[in-house]
Structure 1
Amino acid sequence: MSYIAPKDFAIRMVDAGQSKALMSTRDTLIRSYMAGAILALAAAFAVTITVQTGNALVGAMLFPVGFCMLYLMGFDLLTGVFTLVPLAWIDRRPGVTFPALLRNWGLVFVGNFAGALTTALLVAIYLTYGFSTPPNEVGEAIGHIGEGRTLGYAEHGAAGMLTLFVRGVLCNWMVSTGVVGAMMSDSLPGKVIAMWMPIMLFFYMGFEHSVVNMFLFPIGIMLGGDFTIGDYLVWNELPTVVGNLVGGLTFVGGVIYVTHARTAPSRAKTLA
């Protein structure tokens, strides 16, 4: 399997950021919509496996199938553009202005949310026979996830908010590593392996992913979860978005850009 050196995939990251910032509104929305929908279905798949097997590790091991599918098809997640698009702006690529960066983030957020919400509605219908029966054990588990990861944080006040933010940071550290992993190889198996490992880690560790949560919490409300839309926004989605931004840009995009795209002169040259 081919392997791309860090100095080369660092340039690919900047190129990708520029391409996404300059993409048309139509294509940005379509690609982000599909990314949100596919990742949401993968989350439903992983929760189903976890409930039916009683083993969270099995669910985490299989969840990355959705992430790999959406990136191989060229779709975009908010967590990915948080990492890639700022690099093109920092690199002063033509056309990549700060308003263009914010435009891309806003469009991808809207597309991801719409896609995840569509899947949430479809899965809720599937789990309840069109809302004609109570949710099955998988539906009940999804509802409780929403309660624990909103009201559960709220019970701890500021400490809960800090924990939520940190879980968002840790999440996109791993997810953006998966995004970059797709650029580390030109072969299909190489791309999948590099993406699979960090995504499995984030899901099993219970970190907070803003797009996955766009599915889990709306469907939790649909299935009778005991929390409100306000609880979801204040005690999960918004702090998670900020944490995802900090984690992806700081621990992945920024680090790789600084040390591989803008490498400092070696000590050998300095000594000479």
Structure 2
Amino acid sequence: MSYVKPAAVLEAMIETGAAKARLSVSQMILRGAMAGAILACATTLAYTAAAQTKLGIAGALVFPAGFVMIVLLGLELVTGSFALIPLAVLEKKTTLAKMAANYAWVMVGHLLGCALYAALYALIATKMGTDTSSPLVQTLIQTSEAKTVAYKQMGGEGMLLVAIKAALCNWMVTLGAVMALTSASATGKMIAMWLPIMTFFAQGFEHAVVNMFVIPAGMMLGANVSFQDWWLWNQLPVLAGNFVGGVLFTGLLFYVAQRGIKPSEERKPAANADAAPAAPAGKSA
């Protein structure tokens, strides 16, 4: 069977986190850039599906395609790593310095990939800057403003709100990364990943990498959002919330729940109660 038991999943999480921390700087940037661009493309796919069907849930149903591509291709998504690398640190398979370096360089890659796709998509959506009537242009502008100035107008409560939405978001996103380890088959991985990613997107939670595309794209298209609005009222609190959600709600809780259990000890089959008792030594049955 392709199902991987939870204790074995925990071991895979730790080893995966350690492997991510060992990547070279160039690998982290390149893999992060590719992942950022793919997730940005999945975001515009979701917006297109919602616009065509007039149903927001349609976007949530197709958005996980981007996450699936990222995981199956072995690319780097910093939000998923928020649940994995800290466990490798706990098990002394890597260091805090290497964890921080991975997060920093992968985010550099995300920003590059998202910015490139945003620029290219803006040209497509506006027909090379000649037409801004597309509903998708307005969606990006409105979403960019809703993710920044709307929180700014709420003040401190807005800052807390965006952080909470980010923590809940990455609880689901990191579950997607972990669920990918619960199957040895590509089909099983895809189905397992799809469920939590669809859940987060459908509820409008805040994801740092998605926002690295949506907010700059909206700014390019004319959203009333400043660089300060972007980073102070969204990007930084969302990164903090994503980290808390990933490391606490998924990484540490799963680690505590499964720690000390060996994969070979999980659900050992009980002796058949209907079987005849074994014959005493030295006597025939």
Give the TM-score of the pair, scaled to structure 1: 0.94
What's the counterpart of residue 107 of structure 1? 105
Q: Distance in 1 between matches of 2:9 and 2:178?
A: 8
Aligned residue runs from structure 1 range 194-213, under 5 A: 194-213=192-211
Compute the displacement of 1:154 (Å).
1.1
3-state secondary structure, aligned to 2:2: coil
Compute the displacement of 1:263 (Å).
5.1
What's the counterpart of residue 98 of structure 1? 96
Which of 227, 230, 235 aligns to 2:228? It is 230
Compute the displacement of 1:76 (Å).
1.1
More helix by share: 1
What's the counterpart of residue 48 of structure 1? 48
Indicate conservation of the 8 Å contact 1:4/1:183, yes or no: yes
1:135 and 1:74, CA in 2 relative to 1: closer, same or farther beyond 3 A? farther
Give the counterpart letter for 1:79 in structure 2. T
Indicate conservation of the 8 Å contact 1:167/1:208, yes or no: yes
Which of 143, 147, 169 aligns to 2:141? It is 143
What's the counterpart of residue 89 of structure 2? 89
Compute the displacement of 1:262 (Å).
3.8
What's the counterpart of residue 277 of structure 2? none
What's the counterpart of residue 18 of structure 1? 18
User: Structure 1: which 5+ runs fail to align?
Assistant: 265-272
Aligned residue runs from structure 1 range 231-270, under 5 A: 231-262=229-260
Q: Distance in 2 between matches of 1:255 and 1:11?
A: 14
Give the counterpart letter for 1:46 in structure 2. A
User: Structure 2: which 5+ runs fail to align?
Assistant: 263-285
3-state secondary structure, aligned to 2:181: coil
- When Rg is computed on C-alpha atoms for both structures, the one with the higher figure is 2
Q: Which moved more, 1:109-118 or 1:133-142?
A: 133-142
Q: Distance in 2 between matches of 1:247 and 1:263?
A: 24
Q: Distance in 2 between matches of 1:55 and 1:31?
A: 33
Q: Deviations over 1:170-198 (max 9, x none)?
A: 00000000000110000111100110000
Q: Percent identity?
A: 40
Q: Deviations over 1:223-272 (max 9, x none)?
A: 111111211111111000000000000010111112213459xxxxxxxx
Q: Distance in 2 between matches of 1:262 and 1:174?
A: 25
Compute the displacement of 1:97 (Å).
1.4
What's the counterpart of residue 267 of structure 1? none
Indicate conservation of the 8 Å contact 1:17/1:81, yes or no: yes
Compute the displacement of 1:135 (Å).
4.7
Give the TM-score of the pair, scaled to structure 2: 0.90
Q: Distance in 2 between matches of 1:135 and 1:65?
A: 28
What's the counterpart of residue 171 of structure 1? 169
What's the counterpart of residue 71 of structure 2? 71
Q: Which moved more, 1:168-177 or 1:43-52?
A: 43-52
Q: Distance in 2 between matches of 1:30 and 1:166?
A: 30
Indicate conservation of the 8 Å contact 1:151/1:231, yes or no: yes
What's the counterpart of residue 33 of structure 1? 33
Q: Deviations over 1:98-122 (max 9, x none)?
A: 1111111101111111111111111
1:32 and 1:254, CA in 2 relative to 1: closer, same or farther beyond 3 A? same
3-state secondary structure, aligned to 1:65: helix
Compute the displacement of 1:66 (Å).
0.7
Indicate conservation of the 8 Å contact 1:11/1:261, yes or no: no
Q: Distance in 1 between matches of 2:258 and 2:110?
A: 30
1:229 and 1:262, CA in 2 relative to 1: closer, same or farther beyond 3 A? farther
Compute the displacement of 1:124 (Å).
0.5
Compute the displacement of 1:156 (Å).
1.1
